[in-house]
Structures are given as C-alpha cells and as structure tokens.
Amino acid sequence: MLIMDQVSMRYPATGGGAGDVLALDRLSFRVEQGEFIVIIGPSGCGKTSLLEVIGGFRRATGGRIEIDGEEINGPHQDIGVVFQEDSTFPWLSAEQNIEFSLKHRGVPASDRPTRTAEMVRLVGLDGFEKHRPSQLSGGMRQRVALGRALAPQPKLLLMDEPFGALDEQSRLGLGDELLRVWRATGCTIVFITHSLSEAAMLADRVVVLAARPGRVLDIIPNPAGAGRSSERIGTPEFSEMTAVLWNLLKSQVKCGKRDA
C-alpha cells in the first residue's frame, strides 16, 4: 500500500553554517493495506521529517514514496493527517471542524451532515458536536482532529505524536479509542511516537529508527496480536515488546545525547 524506497531527506545548512544536515538516510519499508505501523526513534532521528515527506509537506531529496503505485510529490487526497499540536479550528464547532475536510475533499453538501454525524459517533464526540474546541479538553480536541482526518475516508492516516501533549491516562484511553476506530474503519495508519508503551500497545509492526541520520534500524512485529489494548499492558507479550524496543533504542539514545 505504502512503499518507502531509499527515501532520504537532506536540509541545506542554515545561517551560513557549513554542511547540509542529513535527516533521513535511504529509508526503506513497506506498509500493507489496513496495517497499523508505529515509527519510533530517539529525539532528533527525523520522525517528523519522515511524516512530512510521506504527507507531501516536503519533497524527499532522494528515493521514492508510493501509495498504491502512485508516487507522492505533494499533499495527496488519499492521505489524512493528525498533528501533534492542536490543529482544530477554534472558530468552528466540533462537527464543523469535521465537516471542513468533507467540504474540501469535494463531498457533496447533501452528504456531509450524515457523514459528519457518523464520524462524530465513531470518534466518541456524541453530545459535544456543537462545542467549540476551547470548550473541549486536549484529548477531545484530538478526537475532533482524528474525525476531521478520517471523515473523507483516506487510504492512509498519518499521526504525528497525536497524544504527545496529553497525560498518561488520557493517552491510554485515546489509544484504546484509536484501536477501536482503526478496527471499525480498516484504514491504514502510520503513527509516530517516542513512547515505548504506546508503540507496544498500538502497533502491528514497529519501525525503529536510528539516531542522526534517521535510518531503519529494525522492523519488529508485535507479538501481542490483534486483540491488543491498554488492558494488556501488564502481559508478558507487552513487556517483551517494550524490552525489545528499549534494547534497540538504548544505544541510539546514547548516540543522540553524544551528538547533541
């Protein structure tokens, strides 16, 4: 479904400094239809750069990105994005925020109310449709952003540390909600995080990135299987997964600190 083939991202030196910065180094992996992929790596490993090139916000300086055989050269209509920072529009209500994506994806006005209502139910915003983002918690605002991204039924949903600004309990709760929505829609998700437990709880497979420049260190299938949720946090599979991820990342975190 998504093919990353030798993708590199190099930023030109800024402020008269010498030397370009290589953020991503010949990254290759595939994501299958309906898969939930989590990308994890130490700070500064290029996770956000990776999301930006997949989302088409930046052009990769090397390699090729394809969705269903079509090369990505800019923002693509089959890709929805949920950002780390609050991206809801404060001047619109929750349902108007969701309807925004339908309108700008060309969904006929007559179909929008029904699809918006379905999405409100799906992301658990019943009773809060008319609320403005300022009247909602951080977690609820991310539900609105998720509903807006999912409403046009994208083939691929990119999520850039969407729960990063939330407390641990909210993150776990929203993780369960996200798994429920993913199972209900069957969409393909690429989820970026720096949280080991979030990766172990959510992913079918985890792509582990190396520090500076970002390259694929390993791709780990999740032993927790299809029924994973926050209730499985204490299970041996969950512990095993987080241990494997930490063992891979430990040396990279040291590298990152040394480079910093």
**Which residues in this chain contact another protein in the complex, by CB under 8 A?**
55-57, 75, 77, 79-81, 83, 85-87, 89, 91-92, 100-101, 104-105, 148-149
- Rounded Cα–Cα distance for residues 191 and 172 (Å): 15
Shortest distance (Å) from residue 155 CB to another protein:
14
Beta-strand pair 21-31/70-71? unpaired
184 touches 30 (CB < 8 A): no
Q: Judged by CB, which is closer to another protein: 42, or 56? A: 56
SS3 label, residue 182: helix
Shortest distance (Å) from residue 235 CB to another protein:
36
Q: Judged by CB, which is closer to another protein: 133, or 213? A: 133
Residue 216 phi/psi, 5° resolution?
-75, 120
- Rounded Cα–Cα distance for residues 124 and 47 (Å): 29
Shortest distance (Å) from residue 184 CB to another protein:
22
Shortest distance (Å) from residue 108 CB to another protein:
16
CB burial class (10 A; 0-12, 13-18, 19+) of residue 110?
exposed
Q: Judged by CB, which is closer to another protein: 32, or 85? A: 85
29 touches 35 (CB < 8 A): no
Q: Judged by CB, which is closer to another protein: 107, or 255? A: 107
Q: Judged by CB, which is closer to another protein: 91, or 246? A: 91
Shortest distance (Å) from residue 55 CB to another protein:
7
